Amino acid sequence: MYAITAVEAGGSEVLKYGQHPDPVPGAGELLIDVAAAGVNFIDIYQREGRYAVDVPFVPGREGAGVVAEVGADVTDFEVGDRVAWASGVLGSYATKAVIPAARAVPVPGSTDLEIAAAAMVQGMTAHYLTHSTYQVRPGDTVLVHAAAGGTGLLLTQMVRMLGGRVIGTVSSLEKEQRARQAGANEVIRYEGFAKAVRDLTNGEGVPVVYDGVGRATFDGSLASLRTRGLMVLYGGASGPVEPFDPMRLLEGGGLFLTRPTLIPSYLTNRQELLWRAGDVLRWVSSGKLRVHIGRRYPLADARTAHEDLEHRRSVGKLLLIPEQSENWCL
């Protein structure tokens, strides 16, 4: 098989494409022919060594494909099944991957495998943010940062599905157009966004901010909240947030702050995985939720995908496609 290996911690240049022996599934595992692997910010953090992973390793926590072999004790899946996975897994940047069966979910026959791969991490993230961390209610106005990002576009649609109104931040006109197509009611730039949010909410502020940008937006996000509002810091695309004084929460009117993740916070067991992934894949297959794939790269070109994501050049989801790498020069 072919795979991308992060040969050491560092910049995108540590990602190397090469040939490896085919992996063998152990008990409770599936061998998958990978149709598409999702590119996520956490892959960059792991490549950089910000999140510790033993090197060398094959990155990639998300993907979709077809079961090629089942290990011992697997009862839920058979050869030929179409499956997707996210989180709690490494090794998706490859033509073949071994996945614990407990992490795989069935993909409905009507759903394209690339779309399924693109929907898993960011779709389940948008699901838990809008249905569990803060249950969006009809009439809520919420602030979604990076509204044209992979998570942002799905969050925007889910808030609208639940009857909420979205104020989204973006950095460019192209991203503004994409966020509006996803249903964002108001789209603003980052400069002075807290004041803009106040102006758009009659001075009241919003009950919840979904902030995956982190360092650059954290202060303004707190200032955008109404009394007893909830700050959901779910990522740090601009960098980690500096330590801060909890008195800021008092000054903001008894604010709440949470820092959630899929694992361990919101995919606590298989039932929760099947619920969130099942909702997301069903909505995608019925057309209720649209997944925008910003760009597909040959697996061998994972380096460019990482650079595009970390340098803010992406819109929607980025995917690696193994079969496009067939004639890539080693």
Ligand X SMILES: NC(=O)c1ccc[n+]([C@@H]2O[C@H](COP(=O)([O-])OP(=O)(O)OC[C@H]3O[C@@H](n4cnc5c(N)ncnc54)[C@H](OP(=O)(O)O)[C@@H]3O)[C@@H](O)[C@H]2O)c1
Contact footprint for ligand X (CB under 6 A): 40-42, 121-122, 125, 146, 148-152, 170-171, 175, 212-213, 216, 234-238, 260-262, 312, 314
- In whole angstroms, give the CA distance from residue 34 to residue 61: 12
- The residue (of 81 and 219) whose beta carbon lies closer to ligand X is 219
CA of 141: how far to CAs of 14, 244, 253, 277, in Å? 43, 26, 18, 26
Residue 31 vs 129, nearer CB to ligand X = 129
Got the DSSP string for 265-321? II--SHHHHHHHHHHHHHHHHHTSS---EEEEEEGGGHHHHHHHHHTT---BEEEEE
Secondary structure letter of residue 149 according to DSSP = B
User: By Cβ distance, which residue is nearest to ligand X?
Assistant: 149
Taking the complex as a whole, the smallest distance from the CB of residue 62 to ligand X amounts, in Å, to: 10
Contacts of 47 (CB under 8 A, 6+ apart): 6, 9, 10, 12, 14, 15, 59, 306
CB 101, min distance to ligand X, A: 23
Identity of the residue, 31 or 284, whose beta carbon is nearer to ligand X in the bound complex: 284
Instruction: Select 74 or 291, whichever has its Cβ closest to ligand X.
Output: 291
Report the Cα 190 to chain-centroid distance in Å. Answer: 21
Q: How far is the CB of 172 from ligand X (least distance, A)?
A: 6
Q: How far is the CB of 161 from ligand X (least distance, A)?
A: 18
Comparison of 60 and 149: residue with beta carbon closer to ligand X: 149
- Minimum CB distance to ligand X, residue 48 (Å): 12
Both tokens assigned to 173: 């006109």
